Amino acid sequence: MSHIVIRIPTPLRGHTAGADEVPVEARSVGEALARLGELHPGILERVLDGDGQPRQFVNIFLGSGNVRALDGMNTPVRDGDVLAIIPAVAGGGHESGGCKTESPSGTDYRA
Amino acid sequence: MDAVPLIAAIGNTPLVELALIREVAPRARLFAKLESVNPGGSIKDRAVARMLRDALVRGVLGGRRLLDSSSGNAGISYAMLGAALGVPVTLVVPGNASAERLDRIRAHGAELIITDPLEGYDFALREAARLARDHPERYWYCDQYSNPGNWRAHYDGTGAELLSQLAPLLGGAPDAFVAGVGTGGTITGVGRRLKEARRDVRVVAAIPDTFPGIEGLKPLGAPGDIVPAILDETVIDERVAVSMDDALAMCRRLAREGLFVGPSAGAFVHVACQIALRHGCASVATVLPDTGERYISTGMWQVRQA
């Protein structure tokens, strides 16, 4: 098992009590994300689709490499690696400044 | 180069009718402004041209660089028009702006300051404000979020064009208008213009999920979100949530009809269909802000065709 860190984008920090990084132990990208989901229920549904792959407009970077261009969820991780969850859209997102700004359901603005 | 013909090519975009709305609302007609035909490829040309023109007329640049934040489309407009007009441009852009956007901004010669994509767009906005505050001798801060030229471009341009294009088709303003809130310029400017023509026009804001979000649209749902100063929230009658998946499904559908548009356009058309059904609208208008080509690198189109 390798010790790695998962970096969390602002819109998802409501799921991590405001934390911008979550340390986990894992052997692969898929295991690391599964561990993140165990630690912070609700977050994985925002990141992965029903097949367990990154949703459209969601990128998972291992260091500077997009895991889609590596071995996907099977990509192995090593001690000290940094995994980052990054939306493939730059505009419109909001700054969390902590968990207080996240609406967990994402639906409290509905008419 | 002579920038006049380039600036003259901004606006007066085609109005297309989308018959697909009748599949969900048989009585309804949907009209949309095709904004990708602007020289910079998006609706942002309108506001940026107006803000730049105002700045040059007022002489506020004083040899300084024009500074603003952007997620990409406005950045392209600034870079393009800055190059044409000889105005040096600095843009603060999150690092996850699509490669097409970053490449084009660089091609026009603008200076790019890239911010951490994990910190989101509002961080880039705050960074631009900080640079403007700390280096007033170097930068003039255009600030599309509080610059009234932004919404006025849509009041005088987009909104007025809609009224004149719809007059022979509907005899006046539509029952409803759908847009989103990025800077608030479009919905404020067009909303005000349409409501002056017809008080009961229903102005609807499409509100995206917070993650992964829809390019150019703010969720506006959580405390702490930056609410643009130029946004007139009183003009919005209804907010309708839309997911990225719904927006993309509509983009693919529109592509089959010959319209290759970005996710915000798909979101607006999706919401237009919903509200036509919900309220029995006979006519709905919206805008298609940019082209689908600006998202090729995101993998948006690399999916099974619906």
Q: Tell me the CATH number at B80.
A: 3.40.50.1100
What is the distance in angstroms between the CA of the first residue and the CA of the last residue of chain A? 47
Cβ–Cβ under 8 Å, residues B239 and A111: yes
Domain assignment present for B306:
no
Q: How far apart are CA A41 and CA A44, in angstroms?
A: 7
Question: How many other C-beta atoms can be found within 10 angstroms of the C-beta atom of residue A76?
Answer: 14
> Inter-chain contact B298–A89, Cβ cutoff 8 Å?
yes
Please check whether residue B72 lies inside any domain of the structure. Answer: yes
Q: Are residues B134 and B178 in the same domain?
A: no
Chain B residues near residue A11 by CB distance under 8 angstroms: 120, 210-211, 213, 219
B158 and B290 fall within a common domain = yes
Does residue B114 form part of some domain? yes
**B302 at A interface, C-beta within 8 A:** no
The domain boundary residue, chosen from B141, B176, B198: B141
Among B118, B141, B164, residue at a domain's last position = B141
Domain contains B122: yes
Dump pLDDT digits (tens) for B125-165. 999 999 999 999 999 999 999 999 999 999 999 999 999 99
User: Is A80's pLDDT higher than 60?
Assistant: yes
Neighbours of B162 (CB within 10 A): 26
Catalytic residues of B: 44, 264
The encoded tokens of residue B34 equal 């095709």
CB contacts of B218 in chain A (<8 Å) are 92-94
Which residues from B are below 8 Å from A104, CB to CB? none
User: Does residue B146 lie in a domain region?
Assistant: no
CB environment B226-255: b (16+ within 10 A), e (fewer): eebebbeeebbbebbbbebebbbebbbbbb
Q: What is the pLDDT of residues B252-302, one digit of tens each?
A: 999 999 999 999 999 999 999 999 999 999 999 999 999 999 999 998 998
Q: Which residue of B has its CA nearest to A90?
A: B97
B241 φ/ψ angles, rounded to the nearest 5 degrees: -75, 145
Tell me which residue in A10, A58, A59 faces B119 most closely, judged by beta carbons.
A10
Q: Which long-range contacts (CB under 8 A, 24 or more apart) does B267-271 make?
A: B267/B180, B267/B206, B267/B208, B267/B214, B267/B217, B267/B242, B268/B32, B268/B178, B268/B179, B268/B180, B268/B206, B269/B18, B269/B20, B269/B21, B269/B30, B269/B32, B270/B206, B270/B242, B270/B246, B271/B178, B271/B204, B271/B206, B271/B240, B271/B242
Could you tell me the pLDDT band of residue B219, with boundaries at 50, 70 and 90? confident
Q: Are residues B196 and B293 in the same domain?
A: yes
What domains are there in chain A, each with its CATH number?
A: 2-101 (3.10.20.30)
**B32: helix, strand or coil:** strand
Pair (B133, B164) in one structural domain: no
Over residues B60-85, the pLDDT tens digits come to: 999 999 999 998 899 999 999 999 99
Q: What whole-number distance in Å separates Cα of residue A19 and Cα of residue A6?
A: 10
Interface of B with A in 188-207 (CB under 8 A): 207
Mean pLDDT of chain B: 95
Q: Is the pLDDT of residue B97 over 50?
A: yes
Same domain as B80, residue B68: yes
- On the question of pLDDT at A94 being above 70, the answer is no
Report, as an integer, the average pLDDT of B97-106: 94
Indicate if the pLDDT at residue A71 is higher than 80. Answer: yes
Structural domain including B226 reads 4-42+154-298
Task: Name the phi and psi angles at A83, rounded to 5.
Answer: -105, 135
**B284 falls within a domain:** yes
B120 contacts A96? CB cut-off 8 A:
yes
Q: Total structural domains in chain B?
A: 2
Confidence of residue A90 (pLDDT cuts 50, 70, 90): confident
Q: How many CA atoms lie within 13 A of B229 on its CB side?
A: 9
Whether B85 and B125 share a structural domain: yes
Q: Output the CA–CA distances (angstroms, integers) from residue B120 to A109, B58, B114, B280, in the order listed.
A: 20, 33, 11, 38
Q: What is the DSSP string of chain A?
A: -EEEEEE--GGGGGGGTT-SEEEEEESBHHHHHHHHHHHSTTSHHHHB-TTSSBPTTEEEEETTEEGGGTTGGG-B--TT-EEEEEES--SS----SSGGG--TTS-TT--
Neighbours of B94 (CB within 10 A): 28
Residue after which a domain boundary falls, among B100, B115, B141:
B141
Residues B168 and B289 in one domain: yes
Considering the domain architecture, whether residues B131 and B204 belong to the same structural domain is answered as no
Q: Are residues B268 and B291 in the same domain?
A: yes
> Is position B147 within any domain?
no
A91 and B226: CB-CB below 8 Å? no
Same domain membership, residue B117 and residue B75: yes
Q: Are residues B218 and B177 in the same domain?
A: yes
User: A90, A85, A57: which is closest to B123 by C-alpha?
Assistant: A90
Task: Render pLDDT for B4-60 as a digit per residue (tens, 0 to 9).
Answer: 899 999 999 999 999 999 999 999 999 999 999 999 999 999 999 999 999 999 999
* B16 within a domain of the structure (yes/no): yes
Cβ atoms of B34 and B114 closer than 8 Å: no
Residues B213, B291, single domain; the answer is yes
